[in-house]
Amino acid sequence: MSDQLETIQDYYKRIRQDQIKMFDSDDFETGKSHFNISMRKYCSFKSPYNRRDYYKISFIIGKGTIQYGSHELYIDRPALFFPSPSIPYSWECDGDFQEGYFCLFNQEFFYGNSEFNLFKKTSLFKEWSKPIVFLTEEQTQLATLYFEQMYKMNNSTYPFRCSSIKSHLASVFHLALENRVDDINPNELPANIRLYRLFDELLNKQFPLDSPAYPLALKTPADFAEHLSVHVNHLNSSVKSVTNLTTTQIIKERMFEESKNLLKYTNWDIAEIGYTLGFDQPSHFNNFFKKHADVSPLKFKNAL
């Protein structure tokens, strides 16, 4: 088994090699918001055991086994599967009957849309949440409706199809959250995941940024460590052990996603956005944004 990272590019390359008739992946561009959906009847019998750099939701109708981290879960009734990208997982079908859908999307899609702000602060896709939500007959009917509409819109020329997809995906999130009363108790988690959870909650509570009058308060690993009353090295090692990313990488990536939202959805000038994100000089923000986006904030905003 391997815990290597599978990117969306790797995923599309793999399904093309397997000659699976699924969805068209030609419109995927690195750094751009991306969403796709397919019927599960086209899925491969067994998927590799990997971490992913993308989010995936499976609406499972059929039997099979999920290997999720150190846990093995057998699915024998309709369920939603919300894996954390940082935990390696695989799926193996048990029988030929496989129905339902699965959708995948990247971080730019999830963090770049204000419609999902509520869900970024919940347990969805977190390392401490239980990834399987078993569905009642009524909930299965609702999930079928939501996924059918997303599938229809994804293959439609309807001018507002993106808004419809986001709306139905939000309904899937709500359906899952209604059933998440049994998420793992913080006291049952390993110490490194407990600390990462506190860090993640602090980070996401700061967003969205509402006004230049209230700039970002916690911007560095040292800021978070002080707030959590731990040594910064302890925080860094805990975060890295859970996510395979550094604390700085996670903070910077979240700041970058917020900077794109502010450029898209506010009329603040570039200097105000940079100041609100904690940059003392507009040039520092310009360099930060260009490093992540390969274009300046002004060019990004003008291209919208």
Share of the chain above pLDDT 90, in %: 71
> For residue range 186-221, what is the model confidence (pLDDT) as tens digits?
777 889 999 999 999 999 999 999 999 999 999 999
pLDDT > 70: what percent of the chain?
92
Question: Does the predicted TM-score (pTM) go above 0.85?
Answer: no
The superfamily (CATH) of domain 5-182 is Regulatory protein AraC (2.60.120.280)
Burial of 18 (0-12, 13-18, 19+ CB in 10 A): exposed
**pLDDT at position 150 over 90:** yes
134: left (phi over 0), alpha (psi -120 to 50) or beta: beta
Domain ranges, ordered by start, for the chain: 5-182, 186-302
Whole-angstrom distance, CA of residue 274 vs CA of residue 147: 39
- The yes-or-no verdict on residue 268 having pLDDT over 70 is yes
Strand partners of residue 5: 51
Pick the CATH number of 186-302 from 1.10.10.60, 3.40.50.300, 1.10.1060.10, 2.40.70.10: 1.10.10.60
Give me the chain's average pLDDT, please: 90
Residue 26's pLDDT is 52
| Residue with token string 């700041």 | 255
The predicted-structure confidence for 167-190, as pLDDT tens digits, reads as follows: 999 999 999 998 875 566 777 788
